[in-house]
Amino acid sequence: MDIRKIGKTPLAVTKIGFGGAAIGGLYRECTREAAMKTLQTAWDAGLRYFDTAPFYGFGLSERRTGDFLRDKPRDSYVLSTKVGRFLRPVPDDQIPDHSYVNPLPFAIDYDYSYDGIMRSFEFSFARLGLNRIDILYVHDIGAYTHGTEKNAVYMDQLLGGGLKALEELKSSGAISAYGLGVNEVDVCLDVIARHPIDCILLAGRYSLLDRSAERGLLEVCRKQQISLVIGGVFNSGILATGPVPGANFDYGPASEDILDRVRSMQAIATAHDVPLAAAALQFPFREPVVANVLIGTAKPSSLTRNIELLATKIPDTIYTECEPFTIR
């Protein structure tokens, strides 16, 4: 599988990576056996970049990812996790609902400060059971997650010390790269204007349907050699399932407007005899700053099916014809 560099760092990742939210039980339960089989399928297919986070299953994804990777040669893969959330043990009847099914018994606290970043980093080592993390992403900073008022507090923490912690970790060799793991464009531009970063894991904002990243972010990334890792390439499912009843977009039920847009895209793909999902999966690679696209699933069959879509030849005209129906 093709290898692409992360920013100006010596790190390189496979063009397709494994996203660890689903093996933490996002939306539906994932057994340990299913998680291990899916991770093995990813490895057998040549994926060597694995992304996880404390938030995914409240520690469950990190534990499973670490368990799988522990016996693999350490220089044979790249691992990323995230900082900004702490896990606090709570009674079973107080476990919050963040769409994870049967997560570990923790609640979530936010902390983007210097001490918070350092502590989160150390706690991830314990859950992973590994002694090296390659990339750290600041997870879900921004108004999309926190709202404007609360995010102002968290941004003060990040700018006042959190980014310094990440720079110290990189300078000491504890990590090789750091950046943001977010669902919005504006916060990326805000942080980049104040501090250099290596990469951005951008979920759902540079896809066949939602091209919000074209609103200034791509240009800045090109100029500063910041790599993009693209999550949510199917926009929570609708670009994989098509505009079927119950289709999801942006972590919730798709509106009629979104369904109409995807119906139009589906018709264009069908006219070219191309699966819409294949066009969606390959779309981000048209942009040179995209280093990786993450596939997140807890089913080996789904992972295999998505990887096979990479072999589909997509005419450029599909992307041109779909452009009027995109979100920007």
pLDDT one-digit tens code per residue, 230-255: 999 999 999 999 999 999 999 899 99
Count of beta carbons in the 10 Å neighbourhood of residue 131: 7
SS3 sequence, the chain?
CCEEECCCCCCEEECEEEECCHHHCECCCCCHHHHHHHHHHHHHCCCCEEECCCCCCCCHHHHHHHHHHCCCCHHHCEEEEEECEEEEECCHHHCCCCCECCCCCEEEEECCCHHHHHHHHHHHHHHHCCCCCCEEEEECCCHHHHCHHHHHHHHHHHHHHHHHHHHHHHHHCCCCEEEEEECCCHHHHHHHCCCCCCEEEEECCCCCCECHHHCCHHHHHHHHCCEEEEECCCHHHHHHHCCCCCCEECCEECCHHHHHHHHHHHHHHHHCCCCHHHHHHHHHHHCCCEEEEEEECCCHHHHHHHHHHHHCCCCHHHHHHHHHHCEC
Q: Residue 177 is encoded by which pair of tokens?
A: 């790269």
CB 160 within 8 A of CB 195: no
Contacting residues for 168 by C-beta, under 8 A, at least 6 apart = none
Cα separation, 74 vs 67, in Å, equals: 13
Q: Could you tell me the pLDDT band of residue 156, with boundaries at 50, 70 and 90?
A: very high
Q: Is the pLDDT of residue 2 over 90?
A: yes
Count of beta carbons in the 10 Å neighbourhood of residue 104: 18
Cα separation, 80 vs 214, in Å, equals: 25
Average pLDDT over residues 9-33: 97
Average pLDDT over residues 22-46: 97
Q: Residue 122 is encoded by which pair of tokens?
A: 């150390």
Average pLDDT over residues 2-11: 96
How do residues 170-207 score in pLDDT, each as one tens digit? 999 999 999 999 999 999 999 999 999 999 999 999 99
Average pLDDT over residues 271-291: 97
What pLDDT shows up at residue 35? 98
Cα separation, 294 vs 65, in Å, equals: 15
Look-up: residue for tokens 């297919």? 45
Cα separation, 243 vs 260, in Å, equals: 8
**Among 168, 163, 193, residue whose Cα is nearest residue 179:** 163
Cα separation, 127 vs 185, in Å, equals: 30
**Mean pLDDT of the chain, nearest integer:** 97
What pLDDT shows up at residue 1? 84
Q: Residue 318 is encoded by which pair of tokens?
A: 């599909």
State the pTM of this model: 0.96
Average pLDDT over residues 290-307: 97
Cα dihedral angle (176, 22, 308, 82), rounded to 10 degrees? -10
The residues that are catalytic are 51, 56, 82
How do residues 43-100 score in pLDDT, each as one tens digit? 999 999 999 999 999 999 999 999 999 999 999 999 999 999 999 999 999 999 999 9
Domains within the chain, CATH numbers bracketed: 3-325 (3.20.20.100)
Count of beta carbons in the 10 Å neighbourhood of residue 172: 8
